[in-house]
Each structure stands twice: as C-alpha cells, then as structure tokens.
Amino acid sequence: MSDLQATDQPSAEDRRQKGRLFFASFLMLFTELALIRWITANNVYVTEATNFVLLASFLGIGIGFLNARSGRDYLRWTPLALLALVGFVLAFPVVLQVGPTPFRGIGHIAALPKPLSFIGVFVLTVAVMAGYGQAVARVFVGFRPLSAYRLDILGSIAGIAVFSALAFLQQPPFIWGLVAGGGLAGLLLPKIRWWQAVAVVLAVALLGIESYGSGEHWSPYNKLVLHKQRGSAVRVTANNIPFQTIHSIAFLRAHDKFYFFPYRHVPPQDLGNVLIIGAGTGNDVAVALAHGARHIDAVEIDPALPATGRRLHPEHPYQDPRVTVHIADGRQFLQNTTQHYSLIMFALPDSLTALAGQSGLRLESYLLTENSLAEARQRLAPGGTFVMYNWYAPFVLNRYASELIDVYHQTPCLELSNPGLARTVGVLTVAPGRSVPNCTKLWQGSRVSPATDDWPFPYLPTPSIPLSYLLMIVAILLASLLLVRIGGGSFTRMSSYIDLAFMGAAFMLLETKNIVGFALLFGTTWFVNALVFAAVLGAVYLAVETARWVKRLPPPLVLYGALIASLVVTWVVPQASLLNLPVIPRFLAAAALGFAPVFLANLIFAQRFKEVASSGTAFAANLLGAMVGGTLEYLSLITGYRASLIAVAVLYGLAFVTGRGRRPAETAPVPGPKEPLGVST
C-alpha cells in the first residue's frame, strides 16, 4: 500500500513515534558531526586520515540498522561506549611537537603507536554510532520506507542546523556533549538504568573539564590553546599542533627575520594598498604597519585568531585605523574583491585543518593552486609585488615556485631563513613585468607539477595514494567485514539490496564532489560547508516528497538515463568555469549543475526504497555502500575531483544492472511491527 492510500487519521501514538524518529535522526547526525570535529581536534593521527571518523560512523550506523529488529540491544550499552570513547580520546591524545619524538600524549609521555590509536578510535566510534543508529532504526522500521526516510532526512537537516549554530557561537565540546548525552538519556527513557545515567553524566563531565579547565577556545575551525611565554609572547596551538606565536616587532626582527624579507623589494613609498591573506594573530600585519603601509586588508578565515591578536598582540595591529579585517576565505576574497594592491602576501597560510569529514581538502587548499595565484596576479596594481612565504618542505617550495613561473612567466626571487633544515622558511617574490628589486638569488630548484583547482593537493608530492592511506583503507574494509559479520549477522540478508549499496557508494562520491565544488566557488568556510550539507539533504527531501506524491514516476531506465545525462552536463561544464560569474548567477548555475544529479539520484533511490521488504536492512546496505564510497574518494588524490564523476556514473550503472528485474510484487513485507497507517501528511 502506498502512502497516498492511507486514509486513517494519525493517532497520538503515531505522532509520538514520528517525533521520536525525527529526534533520533537529529541526534544521530549531530553526534556524528560532533565526533568528527572533536576527535580530529584531539588526535593528530586522525587529522592526517581525513574521513576516518566518518567511515567509522557509517559502519556503526549500518550495524545499528541491521539490528533494528534483532534481540541485540546496542542502544542499552551506548552510554558506556560513549564514556569509553571520551575517556580514550582524552587519556590518549596525540600532540605534535618539535623534536626527535614528533608525537606525544599527555605531558611528556609518548603517544600511543598509530595502529593502536586508530584501532581504539575506530572501534569505539563504531560502538557509539551503532547505538545511535539502532535507536533510529527501531522506529524507522515501524513506518513505511519513504515516510521513515522523509523523517530521517528532516531530523538530519535539524542536526546540521544545530551543530552549525553551535559552531557559529563558538561553543565548546561540553555543550555538544550536553546535546548528544542528554539526547541519549532521552532515548533511553523511561527505562534508563542508574549506571546508564552515571555513564552519560561522567562523559559530559569529562568534556566539561576539557572545555573549561584547560584554557581551550573552540572556534568554528580549531581547538585553540594559548600558552603565555616570557615577555609578551603567546604561543598558539591549533588542534594539538603548534600553529602561531605572537611576538613583538623587536623579537621578530631579531629571531624571525623572514617577516621582513618582502620589504627589501618594496620601498615604503610604494606600500599603498596591502593585502595580507592568512593574517592570523597579527604578526604580519604589525610588520607591514611598521614599514609604512597606508592601508591593509587583513584576511583570516578563523575569527578567533584576529580576536586573540586584538587582545594580546603587544603591537596592537588590529586596533590601527589603517587595518580592515575580513573574516573570509582567502581564495574567495580574491575572487570577489574589486580592489588592486601594491603588495599581496600569502602569509603562512597553513591551516592544518580539513574542510570536512568527507574530503581530503584543507581550508587553504584552493588558495595555493596555480589558478589562485593567477587570481592574485589580476588583483595587483601596476608595479605591484606578490609574495608568499611559509615553512616549506623542499618539494612544496619547488611546487609553488613552479606555479609562479607558470603564472608570471618569470623566475621568482628566493630568500631562505634557515637553509639546511627539513622544512625551510622560504620567501618567494615576483614583480610582474620587471625584475624584483634588490634580489640576490633566484629560485634554482626542480620543476614540480602544480596544484590545480581540479587537483588541489599541494602537500602531496605526486598524484598518488600514499602507502599509509592504502594500508588504512585495506584495514578499514577488512575490519568492517569482520564487525558487520559479528555485529550485524549474515551478509546474505543484504544480498537483495546490492543495488542500494552501489547507490550509497555513488551518492557519497557525488556529495563529496558537491562539497569541494562549492568550496571552490564560494569559499572553504564552515558556513558554506553547512549550507552544502543542508542543500544536499534538501534535494534528497525534495526527491522523497516527489516519490511519495507522484503516483506514476518514469520507469527506472528513464530516470537512470536522465541521471547519466546530468552527470555528462556537469562534466562538460566544470565548476571552475563558473568562477567569473557574479555571485548570484554563479550560485544558480552551481546549484543547477550540482543538485540536479543529487535530485535524480535520490528519485531513483526513493522509487526503489519505497517497496523494499525490510527497510532497516535496505538502509543498512545503502549506508555500508556509502562507507565504501568514502574509501573511493581517495582516488581523487590520483585523478582529481572532476574524474570522480566517472566513478559516480559507473557505480550508478552497476546499481541499474544489479537492480533490474526487481518488482514490487517480489517484496512482500516481512513479519514485524505493523507500520502506522497515519504517517502521510
């Protein structure tokens, strides 16, 4: 019976169950986002593994759905799993430090070996999310599949909205824990046991001690910790990684001379309008002011860093009326500004922060491509100078020098602050159409292939998947097979839904393509990322509503054909070609290109999911397929992101082939709780 055939009015029990499904779905996605953010901020190993926590979450949720109707009660033990995960991450953090032992734990204790750290995080994350997943699944299977999926999507959108709001308000993990832990206690009511309540309280209390007892500040991007040093110096760590140090001009002049190298080539009278991207806590701004800059646009993506500089920098650069602070993505600022500058500086733009759990991009990845350097050239005033500096590994220095040669058609001037070390402070300077004044040495290294908007991985020596990633992927897949078999039962239950697994893998890649595409077009900010998540789920919801209300959808062959056609159009019109459009037309064009395939893909999914015999098992197959799609995302390290559209098309082709011949008549409902008839609205 379809949803439109339901005639009974919703009962109070139906409404309660609908509310419970919405709330459980909200809580599940909120907790997933919180774990991705929190674990990554406390474990440097996980920072390097991009979507590691996401894959563990998908696996756990999938196991939860496989046990929607089983006697195994994972939800019951979730408070203990949550306490164990919080305790493990806080007891065994991974901190990066300078020295012969790069990774340490608490105090001066060595960090856990990487395999043990990964195993602990992975298994405990799976255990936690299996409980939240089962809480959703138990209610999910009591509704008709599309009605359940609809409520799940609405709850997920709410989870994104709430977590994004907390990020905007710069709230710490204690608040996240109150939502996740308090919600978990609510799911266990009215039969919550005393030991479950104690476990939740202890987990939230540990997060409270971390949030308010260690001097941490949680910006929308980083866990920041300030360390006061002798004099006026303040060292800033971000996500357990040494990040910045606030110093006076006198200290910088004596010890960090590279800050002053750019001004050897630009006389004070030429320092009119200056653009500093990566302004941070203000050292670069203070030096520019000391050299007579008449106006500075200081661009920084993390609002907490300029705020810290405003409070603590001894030179007070952000209080100077000549300085305008822009909290924005650097690449996006370059694309949108109409100003021209006598000096543009990329000043230590190394965020060490991933864009999202679904992507290998870092916040600055699109800033450091060859295409971005070309944007910067267009913003130089006649006679202007471009400078970029950072602590560079040799191949990274050579890559940026090669990009500058490609863009400016001249060899950059190179100055080194500490030659001979593994990572060298290098200052690269170019002056379009003329030689760099007072340059004593030109770059003489080996050419390296550039990072581009399609392959935005400047820190990867060559297009390849590093061996450590390959080993991690194999380990995750093997562990997943084992855990699904132990925690979810026989794989044969999912054999009828192999096409849904292919759809899940394809959709994961499609979602990732949209995330990185919109990051290029509108900035790698948390706000853009949240909007893309919400927009993707909005397109999914629209597809579900279409499938619920339209009585006769086109046959699968037509829908699959339309989907492949939309992917071809997206391939033919790459998103980078939209960069020259004004913001509103750019958004409309990007939305049409990005979300048309999302809508069509989910229309296909909804048509198939509408008549499944076991919605819990079918949804689990889709989630586990999405997990495999998350591992396939690493192929972009070789091919670039545009080629992921080919993988998406192939996976949907496999879904079509494996799903052919399935008819609603073949899918009689399995025994179980009667589905409420009053779920249509």
Q: Is 240 helix (H, G, I), strand (E, B) or coil?
A: coil
pLDDT band at 353 (very low <50, low <70, confident <90, very high): low
- Contact call for residues 624 and 480 (beta carbons, < 8 A): yes
The residue that leads in pLDDT, 356 or 399, is 399
Q: What pLDDT is stored for residue 662 in this prediction? A: 61
Write out the two tokens for 481.
Answer: 């097979």
Q: What pLDDT is stored for residue 425 in this prediction? A: 87
The residue that leads in pLDDT, 585 or 503, is 503
6-41 exposure pattern, b = at least 16 Cβ within 10 A, e = fewer = beeebeeebeebbebbbbbbbbbbbbbbbbbbbbbb
Compute the radius of gyration of the chain from its Cα atoms: 26
pLDDT band at 678 (very low <50, low <70, confident <90, very high): very low
Q: Which amino acid is at 144?
A: R
Asked if residue 171 has pLDDT above 80, the reply is yes
Q: What pLDDT is stored for residue 516 in this prediction? A: 87
Mean pLDDT, rounded, for 597-609: 95
- Contact call for residues 65 and 170 (beta carbons, < 8 A): no
Write out the two tokens for 387.
Answer: 């400078």
- How high is the mean pLDDT of the chain? 89
Dist CA 593 CA 287 (whole Å): 44
Q: Which residues pair with 274 in a beta bridge?
A: 296, 343
pLDDT band at 534 (very low <50, low <70, confident <90, very high): confident
Q: What pLDDT is stored for residue 667 in this prediction? A: 40
Asked if residue 5 has pLDDT above 70, the reply is no
What is the value of pTM for the model shown? Answer: 0.90
206-230 exposure pattern, b = at least 16 Cβ within 10 A, e = fewer = bbbebbeeeebbbbbbbbbbbeeee
Dist CA 29 CA 219 (whole Å): 20
Q: What pLDDT is stored for residue 490 in this prediction? A: 79
Asked if residue 608 has pLDDT above 90, the reply is yes
Asked if residue 664 has pLDDT above 60, the reply is no
Dist CA 615 CA 442 (whole Å): 65
Nearest to 151 by CA among 544, 599, 500: 544
Dist CA 184 CA 198 (whole Å): 12
**Domains 1-214 and 466-663 equal at CATH topology level:** yes
Write out the two tokens for 6.
Answer: 């339901």
Nearest to 352 by CA among 227, 515, 239: 239
The residue that leads in pLDDT, 50 or 210, is 210
Asked if residue 2 has pLDDT above 70, the reply is no
What is the CATH code for 250-350+370-430?
A: 3.40.50.150
Asked if residue 129 has pLDDT above 70, the reply is yes
Mean pLDDT, rounded, for 572-576: 82
Q: What is the dihedral of CA 402, 355, 218, 239, to 10 degrees?
A: -60
Reduced 3-state DSSP string for 525-555: CHHHHHHHHHHHHHHHHHHHHHHHHCCCCCC
Q: What is the dihedral of CA 196, 202, 205, 206, to 10 degrees?
A: -130
pLDDT band at 482 (very low <50, low <70, confident <90, very high): very high
Q: What pLDDT is stored for residue 232 in this prediction? A: 80
Residue 302 CA, distance from chain mean position: 15
pLDDT band at 588 (very low <50, low <70, confident <90, very high): confident
Cis peptide before 582 (omega within 30 of 0): no
What is the CATH code for 1-214?
A: 1.20.1250
Q: What pLDDT is stored for residue 9 in this prediction? A: 56
Nearest to 472 by CA among 38, 31, 45, 35: 45
Mean pLDDT, rounded, for 152-170: 94
pLDDT in tens, 197-215: 999 999 999 999 999 987 8
Q: What pLDDT is stored for residue 355 in this prediction? A: 58
Asked if residue 111 has pLDDT above 50, the reply is yes
| 424-430 and 380-392 beta bridge pairing | antiparallel
The residue that leads in pLDDT, 6 or 508, is 508
Residue 580 has a CB neighbour count (10 Å cut-off) of 8
Long-range contact pairs involving 396-400 (C-beta distance under 8 Å, separation at least 24) = 396/458, 396/459, 397/424, 397/426, 397/428, 397/445, 398/445, 398/446, 398/447, 398/448, 399/448, 399/449, 399/450, 399/451, 399/458, 400/368, 400/428, 400/458
CATH architecture of 466-663: Up-down Bundle (1.20)
Q: What pLDDT is stored for residue 8 in this prediction? A: 46
Domains of the chain, by residue range, sit at 1-214, 250-350+370-430, 466-663
Asked if residue 673 has pLDDT above 60, the reply is no
